Structure 1
Amino acid sequence: MKDKFLRLEHWTSHFSLVTACLMLVVSASLGMLQIITRFVLETPAEWSEVLIRFSLIWMVFMGIPMAFRQGAMVSVDVLYRWSPPQIRRILDWVVCLAALALILVIIWWGWDYTLRGRVQSMAGLESISMFWAYLAMPVGGVFSVLSIIGNLLDPQRLELETAQ
């Protein structure tokens, strides 16, 4: 059961990381396009700014799961280093539960915000609903929950291990 979950979590964490990287490429490319159209061609592409914001939102929320998976989001390094192994496991649970509580709030209110944004359209792209931009919160949150639990089951603290 644990191995199946960790395989699923591994796949979802890497999928979210690839998605975040693609959104970074989209954002950077659109930023360059916007600079060229605005300052070189002197005919700004107004829609590009909206898509840059859209891709940055998705980039952040899809990048968070990998940060949780690597133990980089909530860090108590000094306390962790000074604690005996039994206390370290308690710290793992405390950090996991606190992170899960925060992410569950983001999922709950993110989904509510997403549903409310259905009637809103993106400025500059009136045919696209804000639903798609706001959907990044609950989707990234669900991926983050899997990563947080994955990090609890199979902790990864490469920066701590190399620093000791």
Structure 2
Amino acid sequence: MTAFHLVFRTGLKALLVMLMATLLTVMTAQVIMRYGFNSSLLWSEELCRYLLIWCSFLAMVFAFERGEIAALSILADSLPRVPALALAIVGGVLSAAMCGALAWYGYLYAKLVGSQPIPAISFILGDIFGSSAPAAPTVFWVYFALPLGMMLLGLRIAINIVHYLRAWADGRTLQDLAASHGGPGQ
């Protein structure tokens, strides 16, 4: 594992832990407010939904690396070394292209419809600062989770393609790669 990959994974894990801790804190506060004080935080459900969206799209890279994203490997496992690697490379290129298309069109969609402020954060800022509250970020940042997640997944798939090409040149098989990198997505 390269130093960059290690730093990236550590940073992404830290970000995911922070997002999940925030999600858990807001949900706990909502339960306490609702059942303990017979009141409600108007913005908590919406904020939790947005945090869960971000967690889901950012964690896709780890799900891919652990082999938890649906894949049909029956054919590749039954083929000889070279055709199996060729199939893996073609599949990787097509998957990366699909991730790129989803990232591009997801970004265009976020830009097109994401101009209104996020209501939950508007409520929070209004509660904290009153009438002099700063402007809330726009919904663009909620929708941006999809293109960012797809871009990160596409880059991770591109790394796999490089591993497949190296295996082809070195005479290794897909099974050798899985054994040496610790799993199906690596």
Scaled by the length of structure 1, what TM-score is found?
0.79
Unaligned runs of 5+ in 1: none
The share of aligned pairs that are identical, in percent, is: 21
- Cα shift at 1:9: 4.1
Larger Rg: 2
Q: Which residue of 1 aligns with 2:112?
A: 116
- For 2:58, the aligned partner's letter is M
Q: Is the 8 A contact 1:66 1:147 kept in 2?
A: no
Q: Output the CA distance in 2 between the equivalents of 1:27 and 1:96.
A: 34
Ranges of 4+ aligned residues in structure 1 off by more than 6 Å: none
Deviations along 1:35-65, one digit per CA (max 9) or x if unpaired, are 1111211111112112101111110111112
Partner residue, 1:39: 35
- Is 1:128 aligned with 2:124? no
- Provide the secondary structure at the position in 2 that maps to 1:101: helix
1:156–1:138: structure 2 CA closer, same or farther, 3 Å change rule? farther
CA RMSD of aligned residues (A): 2.4
- TM-score, length basis structure 2: 0.71
* Count of aligned pairs: 156
Name structure 2 gaps, 5 residues minimum: 123-135, 164-176
Give the match for residue 150 of structure 2: 141
> What is the CA–CA distance in structure 2 between the aligned matches of 1:70 and 1:98, rounded to whole Å?
20
- Relative contact order: is structure 1 or structure 2 higher (C-alpha 8 Å, sep ≥ 6)? 1
- Mapped to 2, the partners of 1:124 and 1:26 lie a distance apart of 14
Task: Return the offset for 1:73.
Answer: 2.5
